[in-house]
Structure 1
Amino acid sequence: MNQKFGFPRPYLSLVLFLVWQLLAGEVSGASVVMGLILAWLLPLLTRGLWPDNPPFRKPWRMLAYLLRVIQDIIVANFSVAALVLNFRRKPRPAFINYPLTLTHPMAISILASTISLTPGTVSADINDAESKLLIHALDVDDDQALIEAIRERYEKPLQEMFP
C-alpha cells in the first residue's frame, strides 16, 4: 500500500477504529465509515510526530500482556483498598531503583506506563545514564521481591515482544 496515503500505523488505525465503534454504541454503516475515515486520517496527519514504527517480534503476545495487566490492576485495586481501610497497619512506602534490561524506548515506556497504571505503584523517573527506573510503591515488604515480580510479570514479556 502506498505509504503516503495508506495506513502509516496499522495497529494504531485498528485501535482507533475499534474505539470509535465502542464510542458509537452501535455498529452501523455511518459509524463504520466514520471509524475508517478517522482510522486513516488521524495517523496520516500525525505521522510526523511519531518515532519509527516499533519493531515487534511477537505482536500477538501483546494480548496476553494486556490481559495480565488488567488482571493485576483489578487485584491491586482490592489490595490498595484493603490497605487503606485497615487502620491497624500503616503502609510502608518506598522508592525503588529498578534496573532495566529493556533497551527499546517504546518497551521502556510501556513498562513505565504499566507500573503507573497498577494501583499502589508509580513510575517516578527514568534514568537513561544508569538504565534505571525509579518506582514509588505504596507498600513494600521486600524491595528485591518487588523488583523480581516486575521483571517476571512485565519486563520479560516485553523483552519477547521488542528486540
Structure 2
Amino acid sequence: MMRRLFPAPLLSLALVALWLVLNNPYSLGQWLMALLLGVVVPLLTQSLRPTRARFRHPWVAFKLFMHVGMDVIVWNWRVLRGTLGRGQRMPQGGFVTVPLDLRDPSGLAVLAAIMCVIPGTIWSELALDRSALLVHMFDLEDAQGEIELIKHRYERPLMEIFE
C-alpha cells in the first residue's frame, strides 16, 4: 500500500522540502500543497522513471568518482592551455566512436553525465542499439587512446557497478 502511494519516497520528500524552502511562510496551506505535490508528482511521473538500478560495488563507485574528479581537473587545465596558448600547437577537436559493452540504462545515464561533466568532452550520440557512442573531444591527439581511456576508465567500472 505504501509503495503504491509513494513509488519514490526520496523524490516525495525532496519535493516537500523544496516547496517549503521556496515558499517561506510555513502556513497550513503551504504544508498541504507541499504534501499534495509530494504525493501526486511521483505518481504522475512514475512511468517516466527507468527500471530500478541495481547498484553494487560501492568501492568501485567511489574510485570512479575520484577518477572523474581528477579528470575534471586535468581536462580543465588542458582546455585552458588550449584556449590561451599562442604559438603552441592549437587543439584539434574531433569525434570518436566508442564501441560499448555497457547496456544497463542507468549505467549509460551515468556515462552520459560523466562525458558531459568532463571539460573538453561531450556525449554526442548513442547508437539505436546502444552498441556505440559518439563523443566529441576538444583536443583529440590519439583517437584510439581516447577510446581505450573511456572504455577502461569509465565503462568497465560502470559495468561492475550496474550489471
Structure 2: runs of 5 or more not aligned: none
**Aligned residues of 1:92 and 1:139 also touching (Cα < 8 A):** yes
Structure 2 distance, partners of 1:60, 1:45, is 35
Alignment map for 1:89-100 (pairs within 5 Å): 89-100=89-100
Structure 2 partner of 1:54:
53
Structure 2 partner of 1:27:
none
Structure 2 distance, partners of 1:62, 1:84, is 32
Structure 2 distance, partners of 1:60, 1:11, is 23
Alignment map for 1:2-151 (pairs within 5 Å): 2-6=2-6, 8-9=7-8, 16=14, 42-59=41-58, 61-88=60-87, 89-129=89-129, 131-151=131-151
The number of residues matched between the two structures is: 153
- 1:7-60 deviation line (CA, Å, top 9, x unaligned): x3366568x48x96xxx6xxxxx8xx9xx9677765444223212212223356
- 1:67-125 deviation line (CA, Å, top 9, x unaligned): 33233212211210111110222111111110001011221222122112211111111
**Aligned residues of 1:9 and 1:53 also touching (Cα < 8 A):** no
Structure 1 distance, partners of 2:90, 2:5, is 57
| Cα distance change of structure 1 residues 58 and 91 upon mapping to structure 2, 3 Å threshold | same
Structure 1: runs of 5 or more not aligned: 25-29
**Aligned residues of 2:124 and 2:136 also touching (Cα < 8 A):** yes
TM-score (norm: length of structure 2)? 0.74
Structure 1 distance, partners of 2:132, 2:62, is 26
Instruction: Give, as a single letter, the amino acid of the residue that structure 1 aligns with 2:72.
Output: I
| Cα distance change of structure 1 residues 58 and 12 upon mapping to structure 2, 3 Å threshold | farther
**Aligned residues of 2:107 and 2:158 also touching (Cα < 8 A):** yes
Structure 1: 4+ residue segments shifted above 6 A: 38-41
Give percent identity, aligned residues only.
36
**Aligned residues of 1:97 and 1:134 also touching (Cα < 8 A):** yes
Structure 2 partner of 1:161:
161
Q: Which one is further off, 83-92 or 127-136? A: 127-136
* Residue 140 of structure 1, CA deviation: 1.4
Larger radius of gyration: 2
